[in-house]
Amino acid sequence: MEEYGVPIPLQPSSSHLTLFSANTFTPQPVSTKHHTNNSSGLLGWNETAKAQVLDDHGVPRREILIGSEAERKPATKKREKKVRTPRYAFQTRSQVDILDDGYRWRKYGQKAVKNNKFSRSYYRCTYQGCNVKKQVQRLSKDEGIVVTTYEGMHTHLVGKSNDNFERILNQLQVYSSF
DNA sequence: CGTTTTTGACCTGCGC
DNA sequence: GCGCAGGTCAAAAACG
């Protein structure tokens, strides 16, 4: 049985990270069904949002989908409502499925997705005690798009030297320029 | 030989 | 309750 902590965003690993900075990360509700407006910038489990990633010149480069609908169970259980960590997904145009974000991941599952000819892969961070998960999925709608969803926060620093999110963003921009 | 991947089974929530 | 879909487990295989 999995235990989940308080909802906290994926920890930016570098001060250069632009993905979640105030200037470039502007969540807006996708579904207004359960949207609550808290100033923390965090989403509730029932919430979804879209955000844009801007480059250094303020030009939108990517659109981020945050959270997903219908993936929580109703909090009908008496006392312990299960709190899951929010998921942060970003979709991008890429030739490769596996984006090197500097962490080491162990694949623990792969599932076929309905209405999608590509399967979804499940990964867990291999650092001891760090149970951050991510899943990677390619859309059959547009084979050029890869969706990577992160769940949880790393309890450690990136293992690889000089690797951080900025590096992936740079990689992504190379691909998205096609 | 330790680590990672593969892959079918298993579990759980949800709608009918 | 049953079936479906998503998510996870774990044993065996593959890998370096």
Res A109 pLDDT > 90: yes
Average pLDDT of chain A is 57
What is the spatial distance, in angstroms and rounded to an integer, between the CA atom of A133 and the C1' atom of C6?
A: 15
The predicted structure's pLDDT at residue A150? 84
Higher pLDDT, A107 or A62: A107
Q: How far apart are CA A160 and CA A168, in angstroms?
A: 13
The predicted structure's pLDDT at residue A144? 80
What is the spatial distance, in angstroms and rounded to an integer, between the CA atom of A36 and the C1' atom of B7?
A: 41
Nucleotide in closest CA–C1' contact with A109: C8
Nucleotide in closest CA–C1' contact with A110: B7
What is the spatial distance, in angstroms and rounded to an integer, between the CA atom of A106 and the C1' atom of B2?
A: 14
- CA A130 to chain CA centroid, Å, is 16
Nucleotide in closest CA–C1' contact with A70: B14
The predicted structure's pLDDT at residue A121? 93
Res A163 pLDDT > 60: no
A90 CB neighbour count, 10 Å cutoff: 21
pLDDT band at A152 (very low <50, low <70, confident <90, very high): confident
Higher pLDDT, A11 or A111: A111
Q: Is A25 helix (H, G, I), strand (E, B) or coil?
A: coil
What is the spatial distance, in angstroms and rounded to an integer, between the CA atom of A23 and the C1' atom of B10?
A: 45
pLDDT digits (tens, 9 = 90+) for A130-142: 888 888 888 877 7
pLDDT digits (tens, 9 = 90+) for A33-81: 333 333 333 444 444 455 544 444 444 445 555 544 333 334 343 434 4
A163 CB neighbour count, 10 Å cutoff: 16
The predicted structure's pLDDT at residue A160? 53
Q: Position of tokens 């169970």? A: A73
